[in-house]
């Protein structure tokens, strides 16, 4: 019987494997990404198999097609992660004019640092911003009770900050200084860190 339905757990494992090796540690399995982050799909599948993780082109296509965040892009016989790299790649995204406000999802324990330094990329290339509160809330919720910070992207853009938008609609910018962040008015009492 042809396996038409895919095992979700397996899909998640393949997706996590792709994220790890297309964003962060390509050299761990002997992959070399080109300067824009692309790698040949056959090369990727062969390298993964050689390191004990086997998947088919069909499984790969399924992961890419069903990933709700469109984390991966396929062009011809090449694949790359859409964003979130810690290795040095140039995604070749043209500068884009952001909407007046973008949103950043975080948690209360980061607010003091954000008030002091603004939003920094941490271990990524860019700060990731969402175009709506719902998405930002989901991002913040990965780390605890979410706090959504509106960012005055319109003013940043007018002041010369450059924005890009990734293939899956995430807005990227190098750094958001604190003056552009709208903090909640009442500091919430911290629950002991």
> How many structural domains comprise the chain?
2
Q: Does a structural domain hold residue 14?
A: yes
User: What is the average per-residue pLDDT within 50-74?
Assistant: 92
Picking from 48-62, 83-97, 126-140, 159-173, which range would have the lowest pLDDT averaged per residue? 83-97
Q: Is 46 domain-assigned?
A: yes
31 and 67, same domain (yes or no):
yes
Confidence band of 186 (pLDDT split at 50, 70, 90): low
Both 109 and 77 in one domain: the answer is no
Q: What is the DSSP string of 67-101?
A: -TT--EEEETTEEEESS--SS-----PPB-PPPS-
CATH of the domain at 123: 3.20.170.30
27: CATH? 1.10.10.970
Residue 147: domain span = 102-180
What pTM does this model have? 0.65
Sign of the dihedral through C-alpha 172, 177, 179, 185: positive
Beta bridge partners of 75: 78
Q: Of the residues 52, 81, 110, which one is the last residue of a structural domain? A: 81
CB 149 within 8 A of CB 104: yes
Last residue of a domain, one of 46, 81, 116: 81
pLDDT of 93 above 90 = no
Residues 120 and 72 in one domain: no
For 109-127, what is each residue's pLDDT tens digit?
999 999 999 999 877 789 9
Instruction: Give yes or no: residues 108 and 175 share one domain.
Output: yes
| Residue 181 near residue 109 (C-beta atoms within 8 A) | no
Residue 190 lies in a domain: no
Same domain for 71 and 108, yes or no, is: no
Looking at the structure, do residues 77 and 118 belong to the same domain, yes or no?
no
């Amino acid at each position: 019987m042809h396996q038409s339905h895919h095992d979700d757990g397996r899909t998640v494992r393949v997706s996590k494997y792709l994220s790890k090796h297309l964003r962060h540690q390509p050299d761990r399995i002997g992959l070399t990404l080109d300067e824009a982050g692309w790698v040949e799909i056959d090369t990727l599948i062969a390298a993964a198999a050689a390191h004990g993780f086997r998947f088919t082109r069909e499984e790969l296509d399924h992961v890419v097609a069903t990933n709700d965040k469109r984390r991966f892009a396929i062009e011809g016989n090449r694949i790359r992660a859409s964003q979130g790299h810690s290795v040095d790649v140039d995604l070749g995204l043209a500068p884009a004019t952001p909407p007046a406000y973008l949103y950043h999802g975080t948690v209360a324990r980061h607010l003091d640092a954000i008030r002091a330094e603004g939003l920094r990329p941490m271990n990524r290339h860019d700060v990731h911003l969402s175009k709506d509160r719902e998405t930002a809330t989901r991002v913040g919720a990965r780390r605890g009770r979410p706090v959504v910070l509106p960012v005055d992207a319109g003013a940043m853009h007018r002041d010369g900050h450059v924005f890009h938008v990734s293939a899956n609609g995430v807005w990227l910018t190098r750094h958001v200084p604190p003056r552009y962040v709208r903090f909640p008015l009442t500091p919430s009492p911290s629950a002991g860190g």
